[in-house]
Amino acid sequence: MAGSIPGSDLAERTAGLSAPASEPVRAKRWRRLRRLARARLAPFGAAVMLLAVLAALAAPLLAPYDPLAQNLGNALARPGRVHLLGTDNVGRDVLSRVIWGTRVSLVAGLVSVALAVVAGSLLGILAGYCGGRVDGLVMRLMDAVLSFPPLVLALALGAVLGAGLSGVLVALGVVYTPTFARLMRGQVLSVTARDYVDAARALGASGWRVAWRHVVPNAMNPIIVQASLSVAFAILAEASLSFLGLGIQPPQASWGSMINAGRGYLQQAPWIVFGPGAALFVTVVGLNFVGDAVRDALDPRMRG
């Protein structure tokens, strides 16, 4: 709460008066982002992320086989030169399915978090800006969502929304919304207490202009940090739901459903589980490193 200590926000005050507040903030953000490269584990995380994005985008080119083509004569084949990760119980190439599954995982992680960021930020701005009864209602609503264990809520929502990727995306979006709403509300409350917001108001800027030009850009850092940390967990959550049978439906490949399908063959063909399992684990670890690096770069409190 820099605003509560007199004089501590002097630099920001002058910046807010002389130029649109978003400019220096953006410049500062880029300078901080460059620190990413220096963080220790970030290069590994970035490499994993790039690889995953590449696999997702170029899946048709990279996959050696059709991920849906069955070959019962060659079911449960060991990993070898022909099938690098072996084949599953109906003779589909595990590697090709893992590559196609990257698409589902990344889409699920990015889209559900994006939904939550947009919905949560809007609700947070609404609550923080309007205050009073609106604030109370919105925040109690968020508390109510947080009163459900995340997976149980996603499971129940996924069940009523119907199996399929879109149901899971909405369900996970709802689950992650309160985090962003709380963050945004807190940011809005602390930013609107700053002098440069008063200054903008005194200059006659409209409420929405103040919100859009001054409050939101200054409140974005923690949202970006939280979003980058959430993607990894959203990917895990999607995998858990599709492991349980919600989410994208067979025969389409997703890591979670592949692992579930392979668990009956752990003895004869453990590679059916280990292929997608390794992909999932490495992706989540990599994205966690990226998230940590983004946090170190943007959140001054966590540095040191």
Partner 1 sequence: MGRLVLRRLGATVPVLLLVTVGVFLLLHLTPGDPIDVMMAESVDATVKETLRRELGLDRPLHVQYAAWMGRLLRGDLGRSIRNGEPVIESVSRRLRPSLELALCAMAISLVIAFPLGIVSAIRRNTTIDRAGATFALFGICMPNFLLALLLIFLFGVTLRWLPISGYTDPLEEPWNGLRSLALPAVTLGLALAAVVTRTLRSSLLEALAEDYVRTARAKGLSEWRVIWSHVLKNALIPVVTVLGLQLGTLIGGAVITEYVFALPGVGRLVVDAVFARDYPLVQGVVLLIAIGFILSNLIVDVLYGWIDPRIRSR
Binding site for partner 1 (CB under 8 A): 140-141, 143-145, 147-153, 155-162, 232, 236, 239-240, 243-246, 256, 259-260, 263, 266-267, 270, 273, 277, 280-281, 284-285, 288
Q: State the Cα torsion 2-6-10-15 to the nearest 10°.
A: 60
**Closer Cβ to partner 1, 63 or 269, answer by number:** 269
- SS3 state of residue 4: helix
DSSP annotation of 302 reads G
| Shortest distance in whole angstroms from residue 18 CB to partner 1 | 39
**Closer Cβ to partner 1, 70 or 240, answer by number:** 240
**Closer Cβ to partner 1, 130 or 152, answer by number:** 152
| Shortest distance in whole angstroms from residue 16 CB to partner 1 | 33
- SS3 state of residue 93: strand
| Shortest distance in whole angstroms from residue 266 CB to partner 1 | 5
| Shortest distance in whole angstroms from residue 108 CB to partner 1 | 13
Half-sphere exposure of 122 (CA within 13 A, CB side): 5
Written as six digits, the tokens of 155 are: 């499971």
- Rg of the chain over CA atoms, in angstroms? 23
Distance CA 101, CA 252 (A): 8
| Shortest distance in whole angstroms from residue 13 CB to partner 1 | 31
- 93 forms beta bridges with 87
- 87 forms beta bridges with 93
**Closer Cβ to partner 1, 15 or 110, answer by number:** 110
| Nearest alpha carbon to residue 215 among 112, 111, 127 | 127
**Closer Cβ to partner 1, 120 or 217, answer by number:** 120
